[in-house]
Each structure stands twice: as C-alpha cells, then as structure tokens.
C-alpha cells in the first residue's frame, strides 16, 4: 500500500486528494508557488513545500516535481486534473525514478492524448467515431478536400488539444480557409504542436461521458454516465449524473462502449470516455486519462470514492467492485461556480473574497479551497467552487440546486451562480431535454437582475454606519 503521496496540483482538487489520503492513513505532501502560499491545500496537507515565485512554472515542471517527491520520501504522485495530469513525460519520469504515477502509463497517455491515434484505436476496437480524417491533415488543400467529402459543417481540432482549446467549427469553405491558420497558431502556442485533424461536426449533440475504473489485473468497470451538454464555447458549466435524457438501453450501450474503449488501449486507473449523441447515433469523441472535475456527481449517485479507488489501483490492488455491484441512485448536479461575470461576456472576476458562506443541508456538497479573506489569483483557472447537489428524482434535484445556490454567500467577486439559477428555472432544462445548443440559444437568461439578499443589505448598512461613526 502507498505510504506517502505528493500532490502535483493546487486548489480544491489538491484538497480533495489530501482528504482521501487522510482517510486512508497516507501522508500527503502539497507543493505551492508564491500565490498559493496561503492556500488551503497547503494548510491541510501533512507537509508542504515551496516550488518557486513564478505562479505557474513550478506546477508545470515534471522533473522538478519528481525530484521533490524523491527528496521528501514519497512513493507516489497524484496529478489531479489540469497542469501535468495528462503529461506523458511526468508519468515516464516517475517510472524512471521508481515513483508510482497515480494514473495510466505514459504510453497510454500519449496514445489517447493524440486525438488521431485515439480515433484509430477506437476504430480498431469497434467503437463508433465521427466521420473525418484517419490521421493529421497535411495542409489547407487536404482540409478543403476532406471537408467537401464529408460535408459541412466540420470541426478542426488540434491533435494534442483539450479543455475546449484548439477547436474551430467551419460552416463553409471560406470559413475553413479563414479558421485553419488560427487553429494551427492556437495549437502551436497552447500545446507545442501544429498537428490538426478534421471531423464532421455533429450539430447540437448531447455530450455524454462515461466514468471508467481499470486495475492492473485487466478488470474494467464503468460508473455510468454524466451529461455535460450545458456548456459555453466547449467549456462545461453544469454537469448531471446520470443523464436525464438516456433510455436504459442507451445507458447500457454507452457504458459497454466505454469499457470496450478502455480495454482496447490497456487502460489502468480512473478515466473518462466522452461521446456525442445525435438521435440514436453515438460517436466517440475523446478519452480523458485523469480524474475529471465532475467526478463528484458520479460519486454522489454510486457511492464509489473515485480518488480512493485511484490510490488503491496505483497500489496494485484489484478493483473494489465488479460491474454488477455498481448501482446508481437518484440524480446529482454539479455547478461550476466560476469567478466570472456572465453579464460581461463571462469576463474573469479575480480578487478578494469578502464573505463566503457554504451552503449545506441534506444532499449538498461543496468542493472548494476558498474562504473569507482569500484572494483568487489571476494566474489560474477561474473556477473557485464546485457546488454539488443530490436528490432521489430529477425535479427534486433541481429544486435542491436552486435552494443551495440561494443559500450560498460569495461576495467580493462576480460569479456564475446567478446565471445558473436562471438555467434551473428554464422550462427546457427542467424538462430534461437539452443539448449543447442550450446556452447559445438562450442569451436571454443573461438578463437576470442581481438582487441583494437582506443579509447583504444589512451588512452594507452596518458598514456605512461604522464608517460614518469613525469620521
């Protein structure tokens, strides 16, 4: 069993891993750069080590991180999500230095991180993929030729892309000629690779992903699906488990496809297989070789602690569950509370949190590393809180989500919380029938009024009186 784990991440996911380690009697080691000096993951880990003044460099240096793990007597590294979580070099250096990487092998990360190779692997395994190029495009001329073959609209995608970057929809040849150099440029800057491939654009699909767990003995299970269709510019906003839109037959089908995909590449640890659904057609999109931001809702409906399972698998243990042992109950929603202003084109709203009160009550979970007085730095992702709610049925889960959003107090910055309340009240969302077009097709939901809670008004009055009295 692993004894000491270095967490190569920050914020709420680092804190999530610290908690799992504490429950398993495993020592946790946090790392931090200067902006995270007062971060909760630093305060809560058993040990914490400074890795530089630069906000990002320390989190992105695989060799330095592995050296730190060796120097501090760790036997494993958990990468969380983002940063180096899908970095094959980190996994490779870990193997060279005798450190367990809590994730799949470097080879699998490379294969599934290369979107064209991932497509080829899925085709060989009999998993349906969208029509498109079998490999990378050789240039604009080939792109124009392939697009004419498969028909517009098409999607240009960076081969090494992820997180919604390096992707452009093209609705015509003129659009393609304009977007092609932009995708090349973005891919080169963001991922260090100019390789791009093309897929048929599935218009207004449902975005469904399946959580899988796989051990070193060849056992693979799925933990059912999540619906990630509520998104803006390929960035997920609200996630749901299970999808309120799937029939039992569709649920079983995508679950089996995900297990087949994982087995086809010799996958080990936690991963997510993403699909697009259009009518009755299902298409493989990509595989994320790490724990997902939204793993929380799968934990809520199944009772499986995914991070714990990651650590057990990395320790060489077989899966704790067989497929027939895994059942789901009720519905869970996760709201990504981002430090953004929805009324100002979702402009980031970094700054000091003057007041934070976490919602609670039955079926409510918050994953965060913020607190009153904490300053959200401008160097990282804008997500400051994950609010998760669970209830036995879809209607009650939405109502609980509304109540929890109303309960929460997060002041000093703008957040996406008011926007989510508008979505929760929309008839189409409440019907459980929506796809990836929901957000762009309902711009009117951004016209909400920002009402102040009576407690906020009282605080403002008290502050004004105190200021006046001090004159």
Say what the pLDDT of residue 465 is.
Answer: 64
- Please write the tens of the pLDDT for every residue from 194-238: 899 999 999 999 999 999 999 999 999 999 999 999 999 989 999
Length of the chain measured in residues: 471
Six-digit token string for 324: 């027939």
pLDDT tens digits for 116-126?
899 999 999 99
- R_g of the chain, CA atoms, integer Å: 22
Give the whole-angstrom CA distance, residue 71 versus residue 229.
44
Q: Report helix, strand or coil for 2.
A: coil
Cα separation of 82 and 76, whole Å? 18
Q: CA-CA distance, 124 to 112, in Å (whole number)?
A: 14
Going by C-alpha positions, the residue among 257, 279, 287, 294 that lies closest to residue 206 is: 279
Q: Helix/strand/coil (H, E, C) string of 3-62?
A: CEEEECCCHHHHHHHHHHHHHCCCEEEEEECHHHCCCHHHHHCCEEEECCCCCCHHHHCH
Domains of the chain (ranges, CATH numbers):
4-102 (3.40.50.20), 131-200 (3.30.1490.20), 206-446 (3.30.470.20)
Per residue in 28-53, pLDDT (tens digit) is: 999 999 999 999 999 999 999 999 99
- Could you give phi then psi for residue 453, rounded to 5 degrees? -70, 145
Q: What is the pLDDT of residues 170-197, one digit of tens each?
A: 999 999 999 999 999 988 887 888 899 9
User: What is the pLDDT at residue 240?
Assistant: 98
Mean pLDDT of 297-302: 98
Q: Which of 10, 168, 226, 290 is catalytic?
A: 290
User: Distance between CA atoms of 26 and 40, rounded to whole angstroms?
Assistant: 18
Structure-block tokens of residue 365:
């979970």
Decide: 347 and 341 in contact? Cβ < 8 Å.
yes
Q: Tell me if 259 sits within 8 A of 294, measured CB to CB.
A: no
Answer yes or no: are the C-beta atoms of 288 and 270 closer than 8 Å: no
Whether residue 471 is predicted with pLDDT greater than 70 in this model: the reply is no
**Which runs of consecutive H residues, i.e. helices, occur in 222-305?**
248-264, 295-302
Q: Which residue has the tokens 């929901």?
A: 438
Active site residue 232: no
């Amino acid at each position: 069993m692993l004894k000491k784990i270095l967490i190569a991440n920050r914020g709420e996911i680092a804190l999530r891993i610290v908690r799992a380690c504490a429950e398993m009697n495993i020592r946790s080691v946090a790392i931090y750069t200067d902006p995270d000096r007062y971060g909760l993951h630093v305060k809560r880990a058993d040990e914490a080590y400074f890795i530089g003044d630069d906000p990002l460099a320390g989190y992105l240096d695989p060799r330095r991180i592995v050296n730190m793990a060796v120097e501090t007597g760790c036997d494993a590294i958990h990468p969380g999500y983002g940063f180096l979580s899908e970095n094959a070099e980190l996994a490779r250096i870990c193997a060279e230095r005798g450190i367990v990487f809590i994730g799949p092998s470097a080879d699998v990360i490379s294969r599934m991180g290369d979107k064209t190779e991932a497509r080829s692997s899925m085709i060989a395994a009999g998993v349906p993929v969208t029509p498109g190029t079998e490999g990378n495009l050789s240039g604009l001329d080939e792109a124009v030729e392939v697009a004419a073959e498969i028909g517009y609209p098409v999607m240009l995608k960076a081969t090494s892309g992820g997180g919604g970057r390096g992707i452009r929809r093209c609705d015509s040849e003129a659009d393609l000629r304009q977007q092609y150099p932009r995708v090349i440029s973005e891919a080169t800057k963001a991922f260090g690779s100019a390789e791009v491939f093309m897929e048929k654009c599935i218009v207004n699909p449902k975005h469904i992903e399946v959580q899988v767990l796989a051990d070193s003995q060849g056992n693979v299970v799925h933990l059912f699906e999540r619906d990630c269709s509520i998104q803006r510019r390929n960035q997920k906003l609200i996630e749901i488990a299970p999808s309120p839109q799937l029939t039992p037959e569709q649920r079983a089908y995508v679950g089996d496809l995900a297990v087949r995909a994982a087995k086809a590449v010799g996958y080990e640890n936690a991963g997510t297989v993403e699909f697009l659904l259009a009518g009755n057609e299902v298409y493989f999109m990509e595989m994320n070789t790490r724990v997902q931001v939204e793993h929380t809702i799968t934990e809520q409906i199944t009772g499986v602690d995914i991070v714990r399972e990651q650590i057990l698998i990395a320790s060489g243990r077989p899966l704790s569950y067989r497929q027939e042992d895994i059942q789901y109950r009720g519905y869970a929603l996760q709201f990504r509370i981002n430090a953004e202003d929805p009324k100002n084109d979702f402009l980031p709203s970094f700054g000091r949190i003057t007041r934070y009160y976490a919602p609670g009550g039955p079926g409510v979970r918050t994953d965060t590393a913020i607190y009153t007085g904490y300053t959200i730095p401008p160097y990282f992702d804008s997500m400051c809180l994950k609010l998760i709610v669970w209830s036995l049925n879809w209607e009650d889960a939405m109502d609980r989500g509304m109540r929890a959003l109303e309960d929460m107090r997060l002041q000093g910055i703008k957040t996406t919380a008011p926007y989510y309340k508008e979505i929760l009240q929309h008839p189409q969302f409440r019907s459980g029938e929506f796809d990836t077009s929901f957000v762009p097709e309902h711009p009117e939901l951004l016209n909400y009024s920002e009402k102040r809670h009576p407690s906020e008004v009282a605080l403002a009055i008290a502050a004004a009186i105190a200021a006046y009295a001090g004159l």
